[in-house]
């Protein structure tokens, strides 16, 4: 289930295997510039279903559309020049941007709200996968609470009534790729053999007139 890779030079055979799995509705674990993410192909209904089942998340703000370029944001979300300039300033990097979705995006992703988190991670592995796949990835942060029968004393997923999201304690995150082998339903781990920092991204809601920090993280805000 683990494939050890060189981040800047992924073996073409491993890359092709990852893309094939994604198109079949499978789930991949990927390193990012923050912690580990679990992802499926954005256009795979089966993949999205499996991702939601594995994650156990009910609040959709925990899910993020990973893209390789800003132009992909505009295919799914509403973005004017002011928002474009802010996103360009902060990408690639550890920021998730909450934007209003375009007509059809909610149905494509099975969303129950008209907002979507989008991100361009500053790490070559997800960027290479996205480009090879030809579409964004739908993702969620990998957490120990996803392990079957794991008694999570650090973090519990719940639907939140407040506008802010709680920070994810570092104890709930993974460092090493092999640790994710205990996640049922995960089909492939792309492991560069490096410890990932147990940190999470900052979430900025830019869907309204003012920028709102929903969750503080690795990305500085305000600048």
Q: How far is CA 95 from CA 30, 194, 218, in A?
A: 17, 22, 8
Number of other CB atoms surrounding residue 125 within 10 Å: 23
53-101 residue pLDDT tens: 999 887 777 899 999 999 999 999 999 999 999 999 999 999 999 999 9
| pLDDT at position 191 over 60 | yes
| pLDDT at position 150 over 70 | no
d(CA 53, CA 58): 10
Q: Which residues touch 21 (CB under 8 Å, ≥6 apart)?
A: 28, 187, 188
Q: How many residues does the chain have?
A: 223
d(CA 24, CA 176): 26
Q: What is the pLDDT of residue 106?
A: 84
Phi, psi at residue 44, to the nearest 5°? Answer: -100, 105
101-128 residue pLDDT tens: 998 888 888 887 889 999 999 999 999 9
Number of other CB atoms surrounding residue 20 within 10 Å: 12
Average pLDDT, the chain: 90
| pLDDT at position 39 over 50 | yes
Q: What is the pLDDT of residue 163?
A: 63
Mean pLDDT of 25-38: 96
Domain boundaries, the chain: 2-215
The CATH number of the structural domain formed by 2-215 is 3.90.870.10
CA atoms within 13 A on the CB side of 111: 25
Contact 200, 34 (CB under 8 A): yes
**Predicted TM-score of the model (pTM):** 0.91
């Amino acid at each position: 289930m683990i494939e050890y890779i060189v981040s800047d030079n992924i073996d073409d055979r491993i890359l092709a295997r990852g893309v094939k799995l994604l198109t079949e509705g499978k789930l991949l674990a990927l390193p990012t510039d923050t912690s580990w993410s679990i992802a499926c192909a954005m256009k795979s209904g089966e993949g999205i279903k499996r991702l939601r089942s594995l994650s156990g998340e009910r609040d959709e703000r925990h899910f993020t559309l990973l893209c390789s370029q800003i132009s992909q944001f505009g295919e799914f979300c509403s973005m004017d020049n002011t928002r474009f300039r802010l996103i360009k300033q902060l990408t690639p990097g550890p920021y998730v941007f909450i934007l209003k979705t375009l007509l059809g995006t909610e149905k494509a992703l099975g969303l129950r709200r008209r907002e979507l988190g989008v991100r361009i991670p500053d790490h070559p592995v997800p960027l290479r996968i996205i480009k090879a796949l030809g579409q964004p990835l739908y993702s969620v942060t990998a957490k120990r609470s996803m392990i079957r029968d794991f008694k999570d004393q650090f973090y519990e997923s719940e639907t939140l009534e407040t506008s802010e999201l709680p920070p994810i304690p570092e104890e709930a995150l993974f460092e090493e790729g092999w640790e994710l082998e205990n996640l049922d339903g995960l089909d492939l781990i792309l492991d560069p053999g490096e410890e990932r920092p147990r940190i999470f991204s900052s979430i900025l809601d830019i869907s309204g007139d003012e920028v709102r920090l929903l969750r503080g993280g690795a990305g500085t805000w305000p600048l």
